[in-house]
């Protein structure tokens, strides 16, 4: 049985800190058009007003 997959998965789970996840998400947004992430940011701001 190949256990390298299991150890790779565990390493990815440990390296997934909130800071790393935030920067990965921010890097993803930079590859999208402003219309995509602009609506996302606007939704967060409007949601913050109501909740």
Range of the domain at 38: 4-50
Residues 6 or more apart whose CB falls under 8 angstroms from that of 36 comprise 29
pLDDT tens-digit profile of 30-46?
888 878 778 888 999 99
**CA–CA gap between residue 26 and residue 20 (Å, rounded):** 10
Nearest to 40, CA basis, from 26, 51, 24: 26
Q: What is the reported pLDDT for 8?
A: 66
Residue 24 has pLDDT above 90, yes or no: no
Q: How many domains does the chain have?
A: 1
DSSP 31: T
Measured CA angle at 38 (ends 36, 40), to 5 deg = 75
Residue 27's pLDDT is what? 87
The pTM of the full predicted model, rounded to 2 decimals, is 0.43
Cα–Cα distance between 30 and 26 in angstroms, integer?
6
pLDDT confidence of 16, banded at 50, 70, 90?
A: low
């Amino acid at each position: 049985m190949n256990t390298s997959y299991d150890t790779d998965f565990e390493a990815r789970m440990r390296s997934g800190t909130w800071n790393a996840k935030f920067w990965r998400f921010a890097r993803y947004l930079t590859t999208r058009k402003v219309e995509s992430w602009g609506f996302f940011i606007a939704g967060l701001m409007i949601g913050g007003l109501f909740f």
